[in-house]
Amino acid sequence: MEKSIFTRIMEKEIPARIEYEDDKVIVIHDIAPKANVHLLIIPRKPIPTLMDVAEEDLPLIGHIHQVAQKLAQKLELKGFRLINNCGKEGGQEVFHIHYHLLSGFHE
């Protein structure tokens, strides 16, 4: 199975602007931002889609939400959206689960 672009970023094969990382996730700036702040929160564990999340992964999903909170506080966001696209018909392009954190939408 071919490595996803996110795995290649985590392995430092592809450069990315990293905002945050720990042993469970990496957070990078989206290369085609849809808002003033557009971050991707990516778990290090390669789960293809939200439909593939197992019960054992639930602490990881909770951690992703905690990281979103920490980033919102760090960046002093007044509000934000946390989005997961699931499956091709749901707009998912990279089949390694990730969440978009967006804030400061263009008017």
Positions marked active-site: 98
Structure tokens at 30: 């989206």
Structure tokens at 81: 């959206």
Spatial separation of the C-alpha atoms in residues 76 and 26, rounded to whole Å = 20
Q: Which helix (H) or strand (E) holds 8?
A: helix 5-10
Residue-by-residue DSSP string for 61-103: HHHHHHHHHHHHHHTT-S--EEE---SGGGT--SSS--EEEEE
